Structure 1
Amino acid sequence: MTWGFVGLGQMGLPMAHRLAGVTDVVAYDRKGRDFEGLNCVENSSGLAGCNVLLTCLPNGAIVEDMLFGDAALAQALPDGAVVIDTSTTSHGTATRIGARLTDMGLAFLDAPVSGMQQRAEDGTLTMMVGGDAATLNAHHDTLASMASKILHVGPVGAGQLAKLINQLLFDINMAALAEILPISAKLGLDPDQVAAIVNSGTGRSYASEFFVPNILRGVFDRGYPMQAAYKDLIAGAEITAENACPAPVLAAATATYQLALANGFGAEDKGAMIKVFERLIGAEFRSKE
């Protein structure tokens, strides 16, 4: 069985390497790059005939364009082939893609992943899968090369919903850290000690464990750029509005995120949200060592 892999970015490249360790993989990068250790093809036509096509792309518009636009990857796949999209898109995009692929005689799993680059390299991502359970079961062992936890969460689209819930909590956590940590520095507490207290106490979260050590060192390029990740906040606003779900804490976190973007921090990771409040109160949360 041959797998096609499209999207060799920060997350996709290590995922493709993991996958290539357990099955035949044909990889395609939209920027035409070639990577050692992967069988890379020069154009999307090289993916024709793959039994499974896995995509890991920046957003839903690009996924749809690759599948149904000029590249027309979906048309190149044999009948009964499976498309597995690990990109972060939206519930609506996933259901729309699934319907179009079904009409073409193809199966679809929306399977976004959670975990940052290091976990992609380690093969310890969490994968939330929406779609037919039997289709997932047929490919579970191969997907396990990339994800140590694979959860079937419902029909097509449910994977994106589950990923969104996780991402919004992550964003809220980082927005809270951005607001509160500079206050501790303003009031004279030692940032290194505060960081140690937070990351060993009840204020601990994945956001604090990942971002706070980097913030102390003034490093803001270790995570996904905020400008690219903003789509999660847009999706959160849309789905809560459509379903009349009050989300005041999410709205406040979104405002913090927007302030960071408006202040020109979009190319930096989410930890850079702290700069908004550091500027406002005139105190930096940085290591004194």
Structure 2
Amino acid sequence: MTWGFVGLGQMGLPMARRLAGVTDVVAYDRKGRDVQGLNTADTPEGLANCDVLLTCLPDGKVVESMLFGDARLAEALPVGATVIDTSTTSHGTALRLGKRLSELGIGFLDAPISGMQKRAEDGTLTMMVGGDPEMLGRHQDMLGSMASKILHVGPVGAGQLAKLVNQLLFDINMAALAEILPISAKLGLDPDQVAEIVNSGTGRSYASEFFVPNILRGVFDKGYPMQAAYKDLIAGAEVTAENAFPAPVLAAATATYQQALAEGLGAEDKGAMIKVFERMIGAEFRSRT
């Protein structure tokens, strides 16, 4: 069985390399990045006739473009093939992809992932899968080379909803840290001590554990760029608006995110949201050692 892999970015490249360790993989990257250790195709046509096509792309528009736009990958796949999309898109996009692929006789699993680049390299990602459980079962062993936790969460689209819940909580946590930590510095507390208290106390979260040590050192390039990650907040706004769900905390976190983007911080990671409040109150949360 041959797997096609589309998208060799920050997450996709280590995932493709792990997958290539357990099965035949032909990889394609639209940016033409030079990679070693992988069998690569120069054009999308090189992925034709793959039994399984796995995509790891920036957003839903790119996924749809690769499958049904100029690349027309979906039409090149044989009837009975499976597309597994590990990109972060949206519930609506997943439903649309599933329907269009089904009309071509191709199976579909929406399988977004959670975890930073290090976990992609270690093969310890969490994968939330929506779609036919029997289809997942046929490919679970191979997916296990990339993800140590694979959860079937419901029909097509459920994977994206589950991922969205996790991402929105992550964003809210970082927005809260961005607002509160500069206050501690402004009032004279030692940032190193505050960081130690937070990350060993009840204020601890994955966001604090990952971002706070970097913030102390003034490092803001270790996570996913805010501009690219903003799609999660757009998806959250769509879901809450369509269902008339009140989400005041999410709205406040979104406003912080938007302020950071308006100040030109989109190329930096989410930790850079702290710069918004540091500027506003005139205090930086940085190590004094």
Q: Deviations over 1:125-179 (max 9, x none)?
A: 0000000000000100100000000000000000000000000000000000000
Specify the alignment match of 1:26 in structure 2: 26
Specify the alignment match of 2:249 in structure 1: 249
Q: Deviations over 1:36-89 (max 9, x none)?
A: 100011000100110000000000000000000110001111110000000000
Q: How far has the Cα of 1:101 moved from its partner?
A: 0.2
Aligned mates of 2:182, 2:207 — CA distance in 1: 16
Aligned mates of 1:21, 1:34 — CA distance in 2: 19
Q: 5+ unaligned residues in a row in structure 2: which ranges?
A: none
- Matched ranges for 1:209-228 at <5 A: 209-228=209-228
Q: What is the number of residues matched between the two proteins?
A: 289
Specify the alignment match of 1:277 in structure 2: 277
Aligned mates of 1:34, 1:224 — CA distance in 2: 21
One-letter identity of the residue aligned with 2:145? S
Specify the alignment match of 2:288 in structure 1: 288
Specify the alignment match of 2:199 in structure 1: 199
Q: Deviations over 1:174-202 (max 9, x none)?
A: 00000000000000000000000000000
One-letter identity of the residue aligned with 1:100? R
Q: How far has the Cα of 1:32 moved from its partner?
A: 1.7
- Matched ranges for 1:17-166 at <5 A: 17-166=17-166
1:85–1:110: 8 Å Cα contact kept in structure 2? Answer: yes
Q: How far has the Cα of 1:33 moved from its partner?
A: 2.4
3-state secondary structure, aligned to 1:40: coil
1:34–1:40: 8 Å Cα contact kept in structure 2? Answer: no
Q: How large is the Cα RMSD of the aligned pairs?
A: 0.4
Specify the alignment match of 1:7 in structure 2: 7
Specify the alignment match of 1:184 in structure 2: 184
Q: How far has the Cα of 1:35 moved from its partner?
A: 1.0
TM-score (norm 2): 1.00
1:32–1:43: 8 Å Cα contact kept in structure 2? Answer: no
Aligned mates of 2:59, 2:31 — CA distance in 1: 16
Q: How far has the Cα of 1:34 moved from its partner?
A: 3.1
3-state secondary structure, aligned to 2:96: helix
3-state secondary structure, aligned to 1:39: coil
One-letter identity of the residue aligned with 1:140? Q
3-state secondary structure, aligned to 1:266: coil
Aligned mates of 1:206, 1:241 — CA distance in 2: 27
One-letter identity of the residue aligned with 1:206? Y
Specify the alignment match of 1:171 in structure 2: 171
Q: 5+ unaligned residues in a row in structure 1: which ranges?
A: none
Aligned mates of 1:166, 1:75 — CA distance in 2: 33
Identity %, equivalent residues: 83
Aligned mates of 1:20, 1:184 — CA distance in 2: 48
Q: Deviations over 1:217-270 (max 9, x none)?
A: 000000000001001001101100100110000000000000000111000000
One-letter identity of the residue aligned with 1:79? V
One-letter identity of the residue aligned with 1:235? A
Aligned mates of 1:26, 1:235 — CA distance in 2: 31
26-35 vs 168-177, greater mean Cα deviation: 26-35
1:131–1:156: 8 Å Cα contact kept in structure 2? Answer: yes
Aligned mates of 1:257, 1:33 — CA distance in 2: 30
One-letter identity of the residue aligned with 1:182? P
Q: How far has the Cα of 1:31 moved from its partner?
A: 1.2
Which portions of structure 1, spanning 4 or more consecutive aligned residues, are displaced by more than 2 angstroms? Answer: none
Aligned mates of 1:35, 1:268 — CA distance in 2: 24
Aligned mates of 1:54, 1:273 — CA distance in 2: 33
1:240–1:247: 8 Å Cα contact kept in structure 2? Answer: yes
